[in-house]
Amino acid sequence: MDAIPAEQLLPPRRAGVMLLALLALAAVLCAASVALPHNPYIRFQQFASGDFSRVRWVYERIHFDPTPIDVAVIGSSRTEAAISAPKLEMALSAQLGRPVHVANLAVPLEGRDTHYVIAQELMRAHPETRLVLLSLVEPIRRSHPAFRNIADARTVLTQPMWLNYYWLDNAAFLPYRNLSLFFQSRFPALFGMDAQFNAPRYAQQGGTAFDTTKSFRLDNGALVDRESLKDEAVLDRDWGGGARSAPSRLAQLTGADDNIVENGLTAALAQQLHARCTGLVLVHMPIYRADNSAIDIATNERAAPILLTPPSIGDSWQDFSDPGHLRRSGIDKVTDWLPGALTPYLGPLERKGC
Amino acid sequence: MAFNSVSFLLLFLPVVLAGYYFCARFLPNSFRLLFLIVVGLAFYGRAQISYIPLLLGSAVFNYALAVGIARTRGSKRLQSALVWIGVTADIGLLLYFKYYGAIFNSLTDAFRPGGDLLQIVTPLAISFYTFQQVAFLLDVARERTQPTGVIRYLAFVSFFPQLLSGPISLHQEIDPQLAQKPPRGRALENILIGLVIFAIGLFKKTVLADTAALWADPLFDGVATGGSPGFFPAWAGAITYTLQLYFDFSGYCDMAIGVARMFGILLPLNFFSPFRSRSIAELWQRWHMTLGRWVRVYIFQPMAVPLARFAAARGLGKWGGHSVGVLFPLFVSMLIIGTWHGPNWTYVLFGAMHGSFMVINEIYNFKTRKARRKKPDTQAMLGFYTFLTVFAFILAEVPFRSADVPTALRIFGGMIGLNGTGFGVGPWLTQDGAINIAVIVIGFLIAYLLPNTQQIMTRFTPALEWEKWGKIDPARLTFAFRFSWPWLFGVAVTLWLGFVFISRGTPKFIYFNF
């Protein structure tokens, strides 16, 4: 059986230089792809349909809608389903005796990194924002699937690497993403993108008054129904044991804080918001048949005050449309409770020390 | 773990290469082999950790039997018994994991609708390592190889570049190479050559195959959910899928050969420009070559020889003898190749179609051999043979890709015009349609005009038996890699594109399903 010929084809030193040059050149090309310019609006249009198509509306609300945002809700579908921005806006305006504009910028699925990106966009465009309501959830150790699509390259690359199981995949996605965005930005029509604000489409999606707590249909036509009463047996079946997740093996081995990435992002956001005199409150929305014991209260409390929903919200199966999301009766309870709970953070117009 | 994954490229491969050459340089030889076994199992376990014991158990069992077979050479009966035990156990295990559940569920569905169905997860790569080990037992019995130590054997079976989807290499091909320490001073040269081969394969997979999938998948998925494609979409879907499979498998084979080369190991060729073949028989000598070889050596020949003797003994005549001794085993072999892909009637149909094509080809050859020897085929005729070969291959890919037989039949219906032209409903004569046509044209131009990866790397013995293959069917456009800066730049661009497009495509190779 033949094998590799015995004669050496290349002196080791030259082989090493060529190998290094090849790898370095490929790396430089990757870096150059990441550095290609693009239109950030197109970055937020990458999800034409599906769960994350909401991010386009979020970007448009932040950057193109001239209506101020005094209170921004950022989080997952649990906050998206539970907090009705138009109703909260009315209640807060009535309570405070002045117009208070609320936008619910939550997007489905958990992942603090995406919340971080949305908060950055908000801070960039809305210096008037007084308060950010950030969802507080059980530890999940997950990079949001939309994060690598919507975050700018610097944000992706500067995420903490230690115990961040997604860093490499997210970073390696950037050369392709930015290359693609570069061409999409140059030839938007070819890719079905809007280079300029598409106001009619924004209005069609609900515009400023978009209420995220309403029922809607998924791409497959299935109705996500937030109105009808659900069957308790179905909720029990879907419950699946609650929201706890076991620590990762690496964290167990090293004894490290398994949620170091999420907690770090929460703390960083708190700092950045505080520096620009915007308040931050962490708000927890209930899960069916789950108490609050899975939440890391101590760590999160160091970053910002925490609002836990009172026991009356979510105490009944009738408040839920599925184990993770409230239905109308639960939403109404949140709407009744939240304005009062937020008042201390929205009190005097003058910002202390700002 | 897949070759076209970020974690493989940026973490696994560099760490394993460093560890391997460290072991080779500083530790006794057995440590290098142990290291290969451990990383092979880690590579396998990353995809399916629960079946590592099965892989190890199967390897140890076969090795023990092989030792027995080698020691009983004086007693043919005992040796045959050991071979039969081994082959039966191997094939039994394969049948159980791959087919038992499907057969049981079909019967349950037929006779006891609503009954409990079996859920048997097929161990990854079981058909590849089973075939490899069956060949090992038979080759030990035929004295083509011999057991050389359990560690070396485990290193051969678990050698990760070929573990998941082949090539189905033979023990006598790999074991002597594994036994030798990689020569000092050649590591970087081998890594460089392997990386060039790998980069071309990665490009084929992520840029070419995954691009074709953008057009092929929606068509097949849409028909699987009840759609009936028109004439043009059906043909475009079938042709585009064929190209997807072509570049997917070709890319995988290049990557496997490239990674193995980085460790100083040559693998057998598994893909050699099959679309330039002039008959379906030639195509099967150039597509999944090691599977074709396995079926030819371990199924076709053992079946054909006694059948030919039987036909001769019965005086069945020229055509009768040919039918029994060649055509029948040929058809059955192709049927086995088809069924090997999985327990689905679509694969049986795929195998039966290829079996029929092979039989027709063989009859044509048998009838015209003398005449063609006197008057060789013209270039136009040879071109027509190539066209016909690829045409037949495209037809057989329809059931291969279809979710079920009704889906395949609906696509065939579209291909013969039963559902209209498809201009009204498909993306035809639109931007999408135009790009699809471009993808098809570019794909075939690459397949026909350009040298294949091994021909590009011809100066560096890119695969086993290159002495033989290197002279076969040179490309219309010829060029060959050399250690020069312009070439290096070209490879860097290829590697960059291949790496960048990983993020667009699917992490799986089509052949991982088998």
pLDDT in tens, B78-106: 999 999 999 999 999 999 998 888 888 87
- From CA B131, how far away is CA B290, in angstroms rounded? 10
- Are A29 and B496 inside 8 Å of each other by CB? yes
Structure confidence at residue A218 as a pLDDT band (50, 70, 90): confident
Please tell me which residue, B426 or A245, carries the higher pLDDT value. Answer: A245
Give the B window 406-435 contacts with A, CB below 8 Å. Answer: 431
**pLDDT value of residue B84:** 95
CA distance A123 to A116: 10
Is the CB of residue B465 less than 8 Å away from at least one CB of chain A?
Answer: yes
- Judge contact between B187 and B264, C-beta under 8 A: yes
Please give the residue that has the higher pLDDT: either B208 or B119: B208
User: What's the start-to-end Cα distance of chain A, in Å?
Assistant: 80
Average pLDDT, chain B: 92
What ipTM does this complex have?
A: 0.88
pLDDT of residue B477: 92
Closest among A84, A76, A70, A89 to A262, alpha carbons compared: A76
What does the block give as tokens for B79? Answer: 């040796």
Residue contact B6–A9, C-beta within 8 A: no
Report pLDDT for A6: 73
CB distance from B466 to chain A under 8 Å? yes
CB A121 within 8 A of CB A278: no
Which residue intervals of B375-465 are DSSP H helices?
379-401, 405-415, 431-449, 453-456
Residues of B in contact with A2 (CB under 8 A): 266, 461, 464-467
Query: Cα B17 to chain center, whole Å?
Result: 25
For the segment B107-135, the average pLDDT, to the nearest whole number, is 84
CB proximity A21 to B under 8 Å: yes
* A5 touches B at CB < 8 Å: yes
Answer whether residue B331 shows pLDDT above 80: yes
| pLDDT of A245 above 80 | no
Q: Tell me whether residues A176 and B501 touch, CB distance under 8 A.
A: yes
Distance CA A313, CA A240 (A): 20
What digits encode the pLDDT tens for the residues B359-393?
A: 999 999 999 888 888 888 899 999 999 999 999 99
- Interchain CB distance below 8 Å, B266 and A169: no
Residue B67 has pLDDT above 50, yes or no: yes
pLDDT score at B346 = 95
Q: Is B85's Cβ below 8 Å from some Cβ in A?
A: no
Contact B189 A12 (CB under 8 A): yes
Tell which wins on pLDDT, A318 or B63.
Answer: B63
> What is the rounded average pLDDT for all residues in chain A?
88
- Of B265, B234, B159, the residue nearest B413 (C-alpha): B234
The per-residue pLDDT for B74 is 86
Q: How sure is the predictor about B73, in pLDDT bands with cuts at 50, 70 and 90?
A: confident
Joined together, the tokens standing for residue A73 give 């809700």
- The region of weakest confidence among A114-123, A238-247, B135-144 is A238-247
Where would I find the beta strands (DSSP E) of B6-109? none
Contacts of A33 in chain B (CB under 8 A): 496, 500
Pairing of strands A102-104, A320-322: unpaired
Q: What is the mean pLDDT of residues B225-254?
A: 94
pLDDT digits (tens, 9 = 90+) for A128-147: 999 999 999 887 778 899 99
Give the strand pairing for A216-217 and A223-224: antiparallel
Candidates B460, B488, B500; nearest CB to A22 = B488
> Helix B187-203 to helix B13-26 angle, to the nearest 10 degrees?
160
The reply to whether omega before B167 is within 30° of 0 (cis) is yes
Distance to chain B for A316, nearest Cα, Å: 36
How confident is residue A351, by pLDDT bands cut at 50, 70 and 90?
Answer: low
Put simply, whether A233 touches B (Cβ < 8 Å) is: no
CB atoms B10 and A168 under 8 Å: yes
- DSSP code of residue B117: P
Distance between CA atoms of residues B58 and B63, nearest Å: 9
Report pTM. Answer: 0.90
What's the rounded mean pLDDT across residues B321-345? 92
Query: Looking at residue B224, what is its pLDDT?
Result: 93
Give the pLDDT mean for A222-244.
79
Q: How many helices (H) and strands (E) does chain B have?
A: 25, 0
- Quote the pLDDT of residue B492: 98
- Residues shown for chain A: 354
Q: Check: CB of residue B43 under 8 Å from CB of residue B160.
A: yes
What is the per-residue pLDDT for A131?
95
Q: How confident is the model at residue A8 (pLDDT cuts 50, 70, 90)?
A: confident
* Residue of A136, A182, A125, A177 whose CA lies nearest to A153: A177
Helix axes B210-224, B405-415, angle to 10 degrees: 100
Is A1 in Cβ contact with B461 (below 8 Å)?
Answer: no
pLDDT grade for B296, boundaries at 50, 70 and 90: very high
- Listed range (A178-182, B115-119, B224-228) with the worst mean pLDDT: B115-119
What confidence score (pLDDT) does residue A348 get?
A: 62
Residue B425 pLDDT: 47
Segment A27-34 mean pLDDT = 97
CA dihedral B113, B115, B119, B122 (to 10 degrees): -50
**Residue-wise pLDDT tens digits, B461-499:** 999 999 899 989 988 899 999 999 999 999 999 999 999
Which residue, chain included where needed, has tokens 């109705």? Answer: A223
- Tokens 């910028």 belong to A105
- Poorest-confidence range of A297-311, B77-91, B145-159, B399-413? A297-311
